Amino acid sequence: MFARWIPAAINTRPSEWSRAAIGMSLGTLLSVWLCGQVFGMDVAMHLIGPLGASAVLLFAVSSGALAQPWSILGGYLCAGVVALLVAHVLGRTLGSACLAAGTALMLMCWLRCLHPPAGALALLMVVADPATIALDWKALAPVMLSAATLLLSALVYNNLTRIRYPKRPAEPVSRVPADHPPVDSQAITAQDLKAALADLEAFFDVTPEDLEQLIHASERHAKRRSIGEVFGNKA
């Protein structure tokens, strides 16, 4: 039972950790600094928590579905609108803050812009500091300015460091006409993976196309290993 708590190995190099850490630091610094220059440092510092969490996604796991541009922009917008609406109707209490976070989650799922740090943003926008409360509905401006600045930083930094961002839609690896079934009828395709993901009924930060590419890459490595073992035994 306790073995399940042991974390799996991270399949990235230390150089990638350093690249992501530098990008996160610079991106968060720029977004908070710019927001502070326009709306005051009190408002900007109130948003630093969600921005730091978003920076982890945008710089460290930029290939994930939760880190794409529509996820952060749409997620922050949903969280901000819902939080301010709940605050006006139900007041600024712990209960209303939690309700705003849950409602924002449902809205983000419906609009396909799920972004976990937006849940923290919804909480903070309800239980806000006096400077943010004074802005009322104008508080959406610093939220979106910070999100847009962080996104722009990720676009520039990731591509300059040879990490393609945003992620382009992956094309299916296997392109077999419908009237010509594959030789191996049990070969896994993107359609099979979509059906499997639907059966699991859970959130997975990966696309069926990515899974298909991973499976095909694993198959290639398995074939190379098998061929190497055959020739090694003959030798």
**Is 214 found in the same domain as 115?**
no
**Is 143 found in the same domain as 32?**
yes
Write the CA distances from 9 to 6, 18, 36, 43, integer angstroms.
9, 17, 39, 38
- Segment 196-200 shows an average pLDDT of 67
Residues 6+ away with beta carbon under 8 Å from 62: 154, 158, 163, 165, 166, 167
Rounded to 10°, the helix 48-60/117-126 angle is 170
Q: Has residue 210 got a pLDDT over 80?
A: no
**Is 131 found in the same domain as 20?**
yes
Residue 2 lies in a domain: no
Q: Amino acid identity of 190?
A: A
Residue 215 pLDDT: 76
> What is the residue-averaged pLDDT of the chain?
85
Q: Which of 103, 128, 160 is the last residue of a domain?
A: 160
Q: Which of 103, 127, 160 is the last residue of a domain?
A: 160
Residue 41 lies in a domain: yes
Residue 6 lies in a domain: no
Total domains in the chain come to: 2
Cis amide bond preceding 166, omega within 30 = yes
Residue 229 lies in a domain: yes
Q: What is the DSSP string of 54-80?
A: HHHHHHHSTTSGGGSHHHHHHHHHHHH
**Is 223 found in the same domain as 189?**
yes
Q: Provide the 8-state DSSP code for 8.
A: P
Domain boundaries, position 150: 13-160
**Is 213 found in the same domain as 124?**
no
Residue 234 pLDDT: 62
Is residue 75 within 8 A of residue 108, CB to CB? The reply is yes
pLDDT in tens, 141-190: 999 999 999 999 999 999 999 999 997 765 444 444 444 445 455 566 66
Structure-model confidence comparison of residues 197 and 61, the more confident one: 61
Residue 112 pLDDT: 93
pLDDT in tens, 53-71: 999 999 999 988 899 999 9
Residue 232 pLDDT: 65
**Is 63 found in the same domain as 25?**
yes
